[in-house]
Structure 1
Amino acid sequence: MKADDLILFSQVIELGSFSKVAEKNNLTNSVVSKRIARLEQNAGTQLLYRTTRKLSLTEAGKILLNKAKNVTQATEEAKEAVSGFGENITGRIKMSVPTISGELVLADAVAEFCNKNTGLSIDMSLDNRFVDLIAGGYDLVIRTGYLEDSSLIARHIIDSQWVVCASPTYIAKNGKLNHPRELINHNCLQYAYQTTGACEWEFKGDQGHYIIKVSGGFSTNNASALRRSAIGGHGLAYVPRCLVYQDFINGDLIDIFPDQVGKKLGIYAVYPFTRQPPNKVRLLIEHIRQRYLEIEHCF
């Protein structure tokens, strides 16, 4: 079956006559009739009962109509998704992003988007709080974690794997760790910006995920400060891999349990509930997504 024929079939039922569909699509009645007949031939069964007064569906036609509507809707959404590419983007976007994402990726990506669209201005705040989109007047928020507010729409961008890391100096002084349970005997630097609790570190086991409760003398809500403390040899840190990926490459930090850390959080583009976001927001989301995918190996 051809998608165009399914869309035409859906229109026939919606408008109620071949002539109206022919007029809508700039076709002749005979062409519409032939395409419906072709659809019936491909289906191997009659789809419509035709009388001089009205059209009605057969049982098979009712089933196919639901599928045809899905094809029609998917086609319209596909058109909407790419509409506006190449157009001039103007206006203002207010957005909020987490500090890690802002410093690593989004500051450069958003500034680049502004340079490509000189009529657009973007106000981007770096904030680890889960801001209120509606009350704060935000057009777009990048969030890491879980979305519970059903009045918002979230588009998944990428997943962020977490790691446990320490400097070579710390390992040389305190010994190599062989199992996560040994963390209870170490100074664990705690990242206070965690919904699950800064002292609860998640790992994978044969029977599923489990939690190790750690302790340490330093806690902060700033990921960069935590990273610097770990590089300085002051303890072990539990952070997103993207934050310390280059430090692993440079040898400044060591990935302690590369295959055992269980925490992985989604990064989402979130906007207020509408059928489609404004074109400028949709294009910005796609630009951000592409920039994340370019460095997917870091996550």
Structure 2
Amino acid sequence: MSRLQDLEVFVQVVESGNFAKAAAQLQLNPSAVSRRISNLEDHLGVRLFNRTTRSLSLTEVGKRYFNRCLNILGDIEEAEQEARQHSDEPQGLLQVSCSTFFAYQVILSRLTEFLNQHPQVRLKLVLTDDVVDVVAEGVDVAIRIGELADSSLIARRLVSNRRIVCAAPAYLERHGIPMTPDDLAQHNCLVLSAYKTTLNQWRFKDGSGYREMSVQGNFEVNSGNALYKALLAGVGISRVATALVTCDLQSGRLIRLLEDYEDDTDGGIYAVFPSDRYLLPKVRVFVEFLVNTLSQQ
């Protein structure tokens, strides 16, 4: 028997409480189990069990060795499960957290295609503009826009992204076009309240570096999708993620403003998932779906 099998026999004896029950579970002779434990103790040079005619208990060394063996066998089982999962068809419940705006702009338009390609996946979208606790909420994938805070999450960059200032033609026809960031003081700027703060600090670049400006307007909302609808309707000027309004800019529904002063920081759009969960097939195919969809946009 291999060293790994020795560990399995040892753990089974501990969990069964005696050699006979362990032998039955392992489909071995009790004498073979006893011999394996004796050989293991000889190899280690320590006594793992205190034996009497009526009882069997672990020594102090045996207790520590048992805990380490549990970890080793657990890691092996998880590695085998991961390997099997990667060869399996994507399946099961896939819980995804993202903003309503991202869902409408990216996911919903191609949802039928994704589900038809992966009929054994059940997709549950959790739409919120707040940052959810991925681990506590049992989320498989969360979509994050902008810089990521340091965390234990694994992040997969989906696409480059910058925030730009834009407005609908109808608004600009009524109020004119701002030529510098300072001109925004004379305009109606739409504000998104999300992530437990109000995003009314807009960052610009000028000859001396970067500066932030506090903007104001008569419309504030905690939904990115509602802000987007108000922007298209010509309510005011807003600062939005480039990757999510590319089609609007190309069609002329939105006009890009203050390009010479744009903050060129690439915040990116990311898919994040817990680091203690290996990449299941359902997660892998969904991330690939996001990459393909965003690259086409």
Q: Residues 171 and 288 of structure 1: is their aligned pair in 2 closer, same or farther, counting only changes over 3 Å?
A: closer
String of CA shifts for 1:136-159, please: whole Å, max 9, x gaps.
Answer: 111111111233253211111112
Q: Residues 110 and 86 of structure 1: is their aligned pair in 2 closer, same or farther, counting only changes over 3 Å?
A: farther
Q: SS state of the match for residue 160, structure 1?
A: coil
Aligned position for 2:144: 143
Q: How does 1:140-289 map to 2 (within 5 A)?
A: 140-193=141-194, 197-262=198-263, 264-274=266-276, 276-289=278-291
Q: Residues 85 and 132 of structure 1: is their aligned pair in 2 closer, same or farther, counting only changes over 3 Å?
A: closer
String of CA shifts for 1:193-239, please: whole Å, max 9, x gaps.
Answer: 36774221111222322111111111112233223333333321122
Q: SS state of the match for residue 121, structure 1?
A: strand
TM-score, normalised on structure 1?
A: 0.63
8 A contact 2:130–2:195 mirrored in 1: no
Q: Residues 123 and 229 of structure 1: is their aligned pair in 2 closer, same or farther, counting only changes over 3 Å?
A: closer
Q: CA deviation at 1:126?
A: 1.6
String of CA shifts for 1:48-77, please: whole Å, max 9, x gaps.
Answer: xxxxxxxxxxxxxxxxxxxxxxxxxxxxxx
String of CA shifts for 1:81-108, please: whole Å, max 9, x gaps.
Answer: 9997885222221121122221111224
Unaligned runs of 5+ in 1: 1-80
Q: Residues 279 and 248 of structure 1: is their aligned pair in 2 closer, same or farther, counting only changes over 3 Å?
A: closer
Q: Does 1:89 align with 2:93?
A: no
Q: SS state of the match for residue 151, structure 2?
A: coil
Q: CA deviation at 1:183?
A: 0.7
Q: CA deviation at 1:133?
A: 1.2
8 A contact 1:189–1:216 mirrored in 2: yes
Q: SS state of the match for residue 215, structure 1?
A: coil
8 A contact 1:191–1:238 mirrored in 2: no
TM-score, normalised on structure 2?
A: 0.64
Cα distance in 2 for partners of 1:239, 1:291 equals 19
Identity of aligned residues (%): 32
Letter in 1 for 2:293: R
Q: CA deviation at 1:110?
A: 4.8
Q: Residues 250 and 285 of structure 1: is their aligned pair in 2 closer, same or farther, counting only changes over 3 Å?
A: closer
Letter in 2 for 1:255: R
8 A contact 1:184–1:213 mirrored in 2: no
Larger Rg: 2
Letter in 1 for 2:212: I
Q: Residues 292 and 84 of structure 1: is their aligned pair in 2 closer, same or farther, counting only changes over 3 Å?
A: farther
Unaligned runs of 5+ in 2: 1-81
Q: CA deviation at 1:168?
A: 2.7
Letter in 2 for 1:256: L
The alignment of Structure 1 onto Structure 2 pairs a total of residues equal to 215
Q: CA deviation at 1:264?
A: 4.0
